[in-house]
Structure 1
Amino acid sequence: MAHYFSERPDTSHKPGSVSLVLPDLHLRLETDSGVFSPERVDLGTKILLESVPPPPQEGDLLDLGCGYGPIALTMATRAPGSTVWAVDVNRRSLELTERNAQAAGLYKVRPIHIDDAPDDVKFRAIWSNPAIRIGKPALHAMLTRWLSRLTPDGVAYLVVQKHLGSDSLQRWLGEQGWQASREASRAAYRILKVTR
């Protein structure tokens, strides 16, 4: 069974496109089967992008689990002076993010496999619709790895459905020593703000 969190989905290609419409931007994004939410921009992703404050205008930013790029491209549009690292395990997703960034003229988006991101880069902001369905141990390991790379003044925003464990994730983050607060709540989604 191929999942969107498979490295090389074996589902046959089914190219498509979706519209990302936000108050400050309108992008047409190329999608394909075997990636997260190929039929439409995921509601959680849209709520995240409509709820968070603007990203830092310079430095390194991270889209953790980029899919075909809606979060990374929004960050890059809102913070043209920043470099946006778009990481994912899914190679098909990374190719789509690369093509979508090029098509939008967003040349400071860096799609990269999750294991190939340079270790010395620290992030001023992390935005993510994390892959909850990989299971708690893998999710916790992923968040521990990437949140530890926030700059001292860095902030992460995570969108998680309430029934998929947003409240327990918020508690777990607090137990790990992070400041985790609910930034927004809408349509059964929670936006968690995480700082040191």
Structure 2
Amino acid sequence: MAEQYFSAEPTSKDVRRTLNVTLQGREVPVETSNGVFSGSRLDLGTSVLLREVPEPPSSGAFLDLGCGWGPVALSLAFAAPAADVWAVDVNERALELTVENAKRNGCGNVHATRTDESGVPAAAQPAVCETMPDGLLFDVIWSNPPIRIGKEALHTLLMAWLPRLKPDGGVAYLVVQKNLGADSLVPWLAGELGEGYEVSKYHSAKGYRVIEVVRNN
């Protein structure tokens, strides 16, 4: 069986390759490798997310949940150089690539943190990572979440982070394939998050749904 991109420490050979991808209207060089999500291209779901979400605010605390090699984190950093962009993933190689890609493209506002299997920031962090402040709340969360970890693990992951949206307007955008449960995820999130949150389908394109989650209080 091929190694899963959500392995904490990939055992596949770390073969780096350089891609040129378009993020926030600019073509940028990035490095990818084996053992990370969509290591040979910019994933279609991620492309849909980045094309359809509204511009983030000019500053604040932003989160890329399940960062892979970093296209969402880089896009947030390009869009809002004054923001603090946190990139989280269970995969140490992915985090290393995100940090290196941020440095390569002058994004000094990107910070990487490894999570454990439940999505909580791990106690032991790789050298490239930073310690996320306890209780940090986010103005914006953008995510192409790791659907293939399974429904139960996905639900645990989302409920670890979506409640960390800031009250009074914190907003998350998640991209999920329609045939992998996007439509059923909307009412599930609404029920679990409860009053104070609005969950809705924001956009549909190319077999994907972009889900919007707004925290009102």
- Shorter-chain TM-score: which interval? over 0.9
Equivalent-residue separation in structure 1 for 2:18 and 2:8 (angstroms): 21
Q: Tell me the CA shift for residue 25 of structure 1.
A: 1.9
Question: Are the equivalent residues in 2 in contact too, given 1:170–1:192 (CA < 8 A)?
Answer: yes
- Secondary structure of 2:204's counterpart equals strand
**Number of paired residues?**
196
2:176 alignment partner in structure 1: 160
**Which segment drifts farther, 83-92 or 117-126?**
117-126
1:54 alignment partner in structure 2: 55
1:182 alignment partner in structure 2: 201
**Which segment drifts farther, 18-27 or 123-132?**
18-27
1:106 alignment partner in structure 2: 107
Q: Tell me the CA shift for residue 106 of structure 1.
A: 0.3
Q: Which contiguous aligned blocks of 4+ residues in structure 1 show a shift greater than 4 angstroms?
A: none
Identity of aligned residues (%): 50
Equivalent-residue separation in structure 1 for 2:98 and 2:92 (angstroms): 10
Q: Tell me the CA shift for residue 22 of structure 1.
A: 4.3
Decide which of 142, 162, 186 is 1:147's aligned counterpart.
Answer: 162
* CA pair 79-23 structure 1, distance change in 2 beyond 3 A: closer
Map residues 120-139 of structure 1 onto 2, 5 A cutoff. 120-139=135-154
2:210 alignment partner in structure 1: 191
- Secondary structure of 1:62's counterpart equals strand
Q: TM-score, normalised by structure 2?
A: 0.87
Q: Tell me the CA shift for residue 17 of structure 1.
A: 2.2
1:89 alignment partner in structure 2: 90
- Secondary structure of 1:123's counterpart equals coil
Q: What per-residue deviation string (whole Å, max 9, x for no partner) do you get for residues 110-137 of structure 1?
A: 0111224332211000000000001111
1:77 aligns with 2:78: yes
Query: Which structure: greater strand fraction?
Result: 1
* CA pair 23-7 structure 1, distance change in 2 beyond 3 A: closer
Equivalent-residue separation in structure 2 for 1:98 and 1:180 (angstroms): 31
Question: Are the equivalent residues in 1 in contact too, given 2:198–2:213 (CA < 8 A)?
Answer: yes
Equivalent-residue separation in structure 2 for 1:23 and 1:144 (angstroms): 28
**Which segment drifts farther, 148-157 or 107-116?**
107-116
Letter in structure 2 aligned against 1:182: K
Equivalent-residue separation in structure 1 for 2:36 and 2:146 (angstroms): 12
Q: Tell me the CA shift for residue 23 of structure 1.
A: 5.8
Q: TM-score, normalised by structure 1?
A: 0.96
Equivalent-residue separation in structure 2 for 1:157 and 1:20 (angstroms): 21
2:65 alignment partner in structure 1: 64
RMSD: 1.2
Equivalent-residue separation in structure 1 for 2:40 and 2:172 (angstroms): 27
**Which segment drifts farther, 177-186 or 119-128?**
177-186
**Which segment drifts farther, 147-156 or 113-122?**
113-122
Equivalent-residue separation in structure 2 for 1:103 and 1:65 (angstroms): 20
